Amino acid sequence: MARKFSIKRLPGFTMIAMFAFFVLYLPIATLVVYAFNDGMSIAIWEGVSLRWFESAWNNSQVIEASIRSLQIAAFAAVIATVAATMAALATTRSANYRGRTFKYAFINMPLLVPEIVTAVALLILFARIKVWTGYSGLGYLIVAHSAFCIPFAYLPIRARLESMDLSLERAAADLYATPFKAFRYVTLPLLWPGILAGFMLAFVISLDDVVITEFVKSGGQDTLPTYMLGQLRRVVTPEMNAISTAFLVLSLAIVTIFFFLSRSNEKST
């Protein structure tokens, strides 16, 4: 009897995988290590210290930019997830029709178009709106991040919907449940892990976006990534390593939390 094919049995698979992980994570590990460097240099080790974490914590600009980043990411992730959920339901819970493939491509277009193109387009659009309305608040950044994050939230939600068994939804309809009640009590609980995954992706993508933010933001609206980019253009100190390390820990914490939330929801359903 032929054994089931497994890519792990291919010659050199383990070595190539280990090399890929080494190349991927070595720069990150180096950054984390040098965040604890006592000296001013980012390349010369001068002892262990937490001075740069303390410096970043006491830097009012860093705190302000971090809070702004979290606010924008939270609002953008919620908006993108709601829009992506509705789009996923519309494209998976309907009979096949002409133009459906076009809608898939249209929703995922931000993934295919270079980010700089999207940024320039939003810059031109929002510049005109600013002239007409006189408004120059954070709303532009939230809208821009939401639009860019929709396909990232859409993919896991759609994948979850396509893998779901339709028999439960049909059974609810047979029992005279309205479409809303069938969605509320059957589809939504089963879809919740996909929604959480979509929200997490949208939040993280928004949190570390630089290109679109750099083009759309007004004066005094730096997010943490754009603040760090501005500082790197002036002077590079281990404080940037400390901020990046804190940013990395935050991202890992978010991913871990949503992983366990998604896992607990899958077990409950």
* Domains of the chain: residue spans and CATH: 24-38+46-268 (1.10.3720.10)
Cα 55 from Cα 249, distance rounded (Å): 17
- DSSP letter assigned to residue 3: P
Between 166 and 116, residue with greater pLDDT: 116
What confidence tens digit (pLDDT) does each residue in 1-45 have?
556 767 777 777 888 888 998 988 898 888 888 888 888 877 778
**Upper half-sphere CA count for residue 180 (Cβ side, 13 Å):** 0
**107: nearest Cα among 94, 90, 125, 124:** 90
The tokens describing 217, both together, are 């933001």
pLDDT at site 5: 66
Q: pTM for this one?
A: 0.82
pLDDT digits (tens, 9 = 90+) for 48-86: 888 888 888 888 888 898 899 999 999 999 999 999 999
Least confident of 106-110, 121-125, 129-133: 106-110
Q: What is the pLDDT of residues 154-206, one digit of tens each?
A: 999 998 888 877 777 778 777 777 777 877 778 788 888 888 889 988 998 99
pLDDT for the residue numbered 177 = 76
pLDDT, tens only, 243-266 = 888 888 888 887 788 777 767 666
Short-list 162, 190, 202, 209, CA closest to 81: 202
Q: With contact defined as beta carbons under 8 Å apart, do 223 and 213 qualify? A: yes
Is the pLDDT score of 269 beyond 70?
Answer: no
Closest to 207 in 3D by CA, of 66, 109, 49:
66
